[in-house]
Amino acid sequence: DSGVTQTPKHLITATGQRVTLRCSPRSGDLSVYWYQQSLDQGLQFLIQYYNGEERAKGNILERFSAQQFPDLHSELNLSSLELGDSALYFCASSEDPHGRNSPLHFGNGTRLTVT
């Protein structure tokens, strides 16, 4: 058990809809990362937050947004969903703001299916 909790485990929704994925980081970790794992793109970094502030941005679409709350949990919002957004979305946390010297701890992911 990594200590990172993601909810829900599975999500099935229709095109055009909006969903929110939730992540609770490991106790004591201030950094939260979101990754997307899809068959065609592999594992891609989306965005990082550190102590409530956006720290780094990757290949995140404009239809997607995220935030980290004062209690350090994070939410990833996906809107105007398309079939191609179907993927496994991972959250990871780290105590290190730079993610360089301490490992990322990954949750088990939320599997999103857009129909």
> Which residues form the interface with other proteins (CB under 8 A)?
2, 4, 31, 33, 35, 42-45, 48, 50, 55-56, 58, 90, 92, 94, 96-101, 103-109
Characterize 35-67 residue by residue with b for buried, 16 or more Cβ atoms within 10 angstroms of its Cβ, and e for exposed: bbeeeeeeeebbbbbbeeeebeeeebeeebebe
Nearer to other proteins, 85 or 105 (CB): 105
Of 17 and 27, the one with the shorter C-beta distance to other proteins is: 27
Is the Cβ of residue 16 or residue 58 nearer to other proteins in the bound state? 58
